[in-house]
Chains A and B, each alone.
Chain A
Amino acid sequence: MSLTVLKPGPQTTVEDLGRPGYRALGVPAGGACDTPALRIGNRLVGNPEGAAALEVTLGGLQLGFEQDCVFALTGAMVAAQLDGIPVPGWQSVRASAGSVLCLGYANAGARIYLCVAGGIDVPPVLGSRATALLAGLGGYAGRALRAGDVLRVGKPDQPARAGAAVRAPQRGEVLRVLPGPEWPQLARTQQKALLGAVWTLSPDSNRMGARLAGPTLALDGSGELASHAVLPGVVQLPPSGQPIILLADAQTTGGYAKPLVVIAADLWRAAQFSPGERVRFAEVSGQGALAALLAQRDWINRITRSLAWPL
């Protein structure tokens, strides 16, 4: 079973849940930027939640199915057609051999996940099939997909079923945040500006970071710190005064001030803003962050149970 890339769109990569455990060697965990969308997409087609899938940035992907197969599109909303017939998102769909899937431009969100029954079968590197673009390892030849690439699909553990559907999660412009270590180094006026401003997502954002444009912020002091561990969700304030929200492919260490950290439950939202879209921060308590993470896990677990197929 295989898929042929006819058009890759702006950037399509093979991703799974990443390779945690190698940060101390300088290797970012990487993996899907919107992990709930990957987990649920995989469940919709009967895969383990961490099977490798395609992360399609902003749409534009065209793909040929060489054999019959079941797939699902999750993540960003996109007008998609299978041989000219509209394909709904967040639902498992059967494609027959020779059919062609065409994605339009994402109309809500930035990253679409194409999960296929059996998962994308590329060789794992350091325990993961995720593409580390900067290091050029993992995924398909360590790079984004190009027209003509042929992707092997694994053998499904169980026969896949079409027609399974779940409701897409709601997404607004707000990201819930906790104060970061350098929050106190911002003057009151700067703290207010950071939390009060309506930011917009800059088009030079990528899998390493969501770059925001808005009022120019200034730190007390130089803002240069000794190199320290950073993680996806950390909001850095470089000398430009424009915040960067670190995403899945962020480097393992950084030296910029970190006034905020996006809570783990909202990390997927940070990865789904499209260029020009409005972004706001809202403070939450530590307890609130844990409650949100628990609620997200419960939601994924409930979907997983409801989609578990009797064998």
Chain B
Amino acid sequence: MSEAPLTIQALGECALTLTVGTDLPSQRRLWAAWHALQQRLPEVEWVLGMGNLSGRFDPLVTAARLVEKALEGAWTHSLGGKFGEGRVIEIPVRYGGEQGPDLAVVAALLDLAESEVIERHTAAEYVVYCLGFLPGFAYLGGLDARIAVPRRAEPRRRVPAGSVGIAGNQTGVYPLASPGGWQLIGRSDIQLFDPYRETPVLLAPGDTVRFVAVP
């Protein structure tokens, strides 16, 4: 396996970011590195992105050079490193109608029947690359390129919690009501974030998600 290009950049004096490729094999290595670094330097807050991994630290306590070395080391050791397969989580979705007000628009944009959009959205297996944007929001890889559609020209002021949307080659579920520009094709009752649960988030990096159409 050839070594992906690697850069480590400062994000101010309190953080460093390791950037690699956004392909799934690179992301798998980032998960392994992320787990290793949480053990090795727990005083640093490690945050995954899409093809990148950042560490935030107190620069008067932890030297940036130490964090940089740790990132380099964790990335090198992530090659062939063990990262357990994630769980498979099914997300029930009511597609279309009031719950998915943009399904008709998406189908028209793609010149497909609504049922075909639903079929393609439920047929794929999605991988959780990382969490971010909103509490418990999962960045998912694996959308069928044939149902990729641009964002809405005019973002909505309020997207209800549980809304399932498509934007570009991404699909995702809004954990909370928030403003948003994604094309909404359905809605789920699943609770992605609950601060009072022992584990506040439902999805974790490495998990596999399947959408299941329900009436």
A263 near B133 with CB under 8 A, answer: no
A187 in contact (CB, < 8 A): no
Find the A residue at minimum CB distance from B64: A286
B134 near A134 with CB under 8 A, answer: yes
Partner of B132, one of A135, A227, A233, A294: A227
Given contacts A26-B201, A178-B12, A229-B132, contact A297 B60 (CB under 8 A): yes
Instruction: Say how far A291's CB is from chain B's closest CB, in angstroms.
Output: 10
B45 near A20 with CB under 8 A, answer: yes
A residues less than 8 Å from B51 (CB atoms): 226
B209 in contact (CB, < 8 A): no
Find the A residue at minimum CB distance from B50: A226
B residues less than 8 Å from A24 (CB atoms): 34, 45-48, 131
Q: Contact mask A286-297 → B, CB, 8 Å, 1/0? A: 100110011001
Size range of the chain B interface in the assembly = 35 or more
The interface size of chain A toward B, counting residues with CB under 8 Å, comes to: 40
B residues less than 8 Å from A180 (CB atoms): 11-12
Name 19 extra pairs, CB < 8 A, besides A227-B139, A228-B50, A229-B11.
A22-B200, A25-B131, A25-B201, A26-B135, A125-B195, A135-B176, A136-B176, A137-B195, A178-B12, A178-B13, A181-B11, A181-B17, A226-B50, A227-B130, A229-B56, A252-B47, A252-B133, A264-B14, A286-B10
The 10 closest A-B pairs by CB, nearest first: A253-B132, A261-B12, A229-B54, A228-B49, A229-B47, A226-B50, A289-B13, A181-B9, A27-B135, A26-B131
Measured CB to CB, the residues of B under 8 A from A are 9-15, 17, 19, 22, 34, 45-52, 54, 56, 59-60, 130-137, 139, 175-176, 178, 193, 195-196, 200-201
Measured CB to CB, the residues of A under 8 A from B are 20-27, 125-126, 132, 134-137, 178, 180-181, 226-231, 233-234, 251-253, 258, 261-264, 286, 289-290, 293-294, 297
